[in-house]
Structure 1
Amino acid sequence: MSSSSTAPSYAAVLRTRYACRTFGAALLGRLSYGMVSLSLVLAVKEATDSYAVAGTVTALFALTSVFLSPTRAGLVDRYGPRRALLPMSGAYALLLTGLAFATSWEGASGVLLGILAVPAGACTPPLGPVMRTLWSDLLPDRRMLQRAYSLDSVAEELLFVTGPLLVGLLVQFSTASLGLAVSAALVLTGSLALVAAPPVRGWVGRKEAEDAKGAKESEEASGEPAAARRRLLLADPGLRQAILVSAAVGICLGAFELLVIAFADAHHTPQAVAWILAGLCGGSAVGGLVYGAVSWRASSRLRLAFLAAALGMVLAATGLSPHPYVLIVWAALGGLFIAPAITTAYLIADECSSAATRTQAGAWVNTAFNAGSAGATAATGLLVGRLPLALCFALAAVPAVASAATALNRSCRPALRTAAAREPRGERTPDAERRASVDV
Structure 2
Amino acid sequence: MLSSYRQIFAAPGTLAFSSAGLIARLPISMTGIGIVTMLAQLRGSYGIAGAVSAVVALSVAALGPQVSRLVDRYGQRRVALPATGLTVLAAAALLLCAHYGAPDWTLFVCAAGVGMMPSTGSMVRARWAHLYSSEPPRLHTAYSFEAVVDEICFIVGPILSIGLATSVFPEAGVLCSGIFLTVGILLFTAQRRTEPPIHPGAHRAGRSAIHSSGLQVLVLTFVATGAIFGSVEVVTVAFAQEQGHTALASLVLAVYALGSCLAGVVFGTLRLKGSMAGRFLGGNAVMAASMVPLVVVAALVDGTAGLVALGAALFVAGLSISPTLITAMALVERLVPAAQLNEGMTWTTTGLALGVALGSSVAGWVVDGSGAAAGYWVPLAAALFGALTALAGLARLRAGLVAVATADGAAATAAEAAAGSATGGPEA
Change in Cα spacing, 1:262 to 1:356, as seen in structure 2 (3 Å) is same
1:182 equivalent in alignment to 2:170 = no
| C-alpha distance in 1 between matches for 2:230 and 2:200 | 36
Change in Cα spacing, 1:288 to 1:114, as seen in structure 2 (3 Å) is same
Which residue of structure 1 aligns with residue 335 of structure 2?
352
Which residue of structure 1 aligns with residue 355 of structure 2?
372
1:198 equivalent in alignment to 2:192 = yes
Task: Write the deviation string for residues 8-50 of structure 1: whole angstroms up to 9, x where unpaired.
Answer: 6011112222110111111111112222222222222333333
Deviates more, 1:77-86 or 1:385-394: 385-394
| C-alpha distance in 2 between matches for 1:330 and 1:100 | 39
Change in Cα spacing, 1:171 to 1:15, as seen in structure 2 (3 Å) is same
| C-alpha distance in 1 between matches for 2:47 and 2:219 | 32
- Matching residue within 94, 99, 107 for 1:104: 99
Which residue of structure 2 aligns with residue 412 of structure 1?
400
Kept in 2: contact 1:8–1:143 (CA 8 A): no
By how many angstroms is 1:397 displaced? 3.2
| C-alpha distance in 1 between matches for 2:280 and 2:142 | 17
What amino acid maps onto 1:398 in structure 2? L
1:117 equivalent in alignment to 2:105 = no
Change in Cα spacing, 1:371 to 1:264, as seen in structure 2 (3 Å) is same
By how many angstroms is 1:407 displaced? 2.1
Kept in 2: contact 1:94–1:184 (CA 8 A): no
Change in Cα spacing, 1:48 to 1:266, as seen in structure 2 (3 Å) is closer
- Counterparts in 2 of 1:32-431, with a 5 A limit? 32-105=27-100, 107-121=101-115, 123-140=116-133, 141-171=135-165, 173-201=167-195, 203-204=197-198, 226-227=205-206, 229-230=207-208, 233-321=209-297, 322-323=300-301, 324=306, 325-384=308-367, 385-386=369-370, 389=374, 391-392=377-378, 394-405=380-391, 406-409=393-396, 410-414=398-402, 416-417=404-405
| C-alpha distance in 2 between matches for 1:422 and 1:186 | 45
Kept in 2: contact 1:236–1:413 (CA 8 A): no
| C-alpha distance in 1 between matches for 2:244 and 2:395 | 44
| C-alpha distance in 2 between matches for 1:109 and 1:314 | 45
Deviates more, 1:371-380 or 1:251-260: 251-260
Kept in 1: contact 2:359–2:378 (CA 8 A): no
By how many angstroms is 1:333 displaced? 0.5
| C-alpha distance in 1 between matches for 2:136 and 2:342 | 17
By how many angstroms is 1:371 displaced? 1.0
Change in Cα spacing, 1:178 to 1:252, as seen in structure 2 (3 Å) is closer
Change in Cα spacing, 1:183 to 1:8, as seen in structure 2 (3 Å) is same
Task: Write the deviation string for residues 314-353 of structure 1: whole angstroms up to 9, x where unpaired.
Answer: 1023211132221111100110011111111111001111
By how many angstroms is 1:151 displaced? 0.8
What amino acid maps onto 2:86 in structure 1? A
| C-alpha distance in 2 between matches for 1:383 and 1:50 | 21
By how many angstroms is 1:166 displaced? 2.0
| C-alpha distance in 1 between matches for 2:217 and 2:3 | 27
Gaps of 5+ in 1: 211-218, 220-225, 424-440
How many percent identity over aligned positions? 26
Task: Write the deviation string for residues 241-272 of structure 1: whole angstroms up to 9, x where unpaired.
Answer: 32222222212222222232343345444344
Paired residue total: 398
| C-alpha distance in 1 between matches for 2:227 and 2:236 | 14
Change in Cα spacing, 1:415 to 1:339, as seen in structure 2 (3 Å) is same
What amino acid maps onto 1:78 in structure 2? R
Change in Cα spacing, 1:187 to 1:394, as seen in structure 2 (3 Å) is closer
By how many angstroms is 1:184 displaced? 1.8
Q: CA RMSD for the aligned pairs?
A: 2.6
Kept in 2: contact 1:279–1:332 (CA 8 A): yes
Kept in 2: contact 1:316–1:397 (CA 8 A): no
Deviates more, 1:407-416 or 1:128-137: 407-416
TM-score between both structures, scaled by the size of structure 1:
0.83
Change in Cα spacing, 1:420 to 1:13, as seen in structure 2 (3 Å) is farther
Q: Which has the higher helix share?
A: 2
Kept in 2: contact 1:79–1:206 (CA 8 A): no
| C-alpha distance in 1 between matches for 2:344 and 2:62 | 14
Change in Cα spacing, 1:45 to 1:392, as seen in structure 2 (3 Å) is closer
Deviates more, 1:168-177 or 1:138-147: 168-177
| C-alpha distance in 1 between matches for 2:148 and 2:104 | 36
Which residue of structure 2 aligns with residue 216 of structure 1?
none
What amino acid maps onto 2:270 in structure 1? V
| C-alpha distance in 2 between matches for 1:60 and 1:393 | 23
Runs in 1 of length 4+ with deviation above 6 angstroms? Answer: 418-423
Deviates more, 1:348-357 or 1:322-331: 322-331
What amino acid maps onto 2:231 in structure 1? A
Which residue of structure 1 aligns with residue 426 of structure 2?
none
Kept in 2: contact 1:287–1:337 (CA 8 A): yes
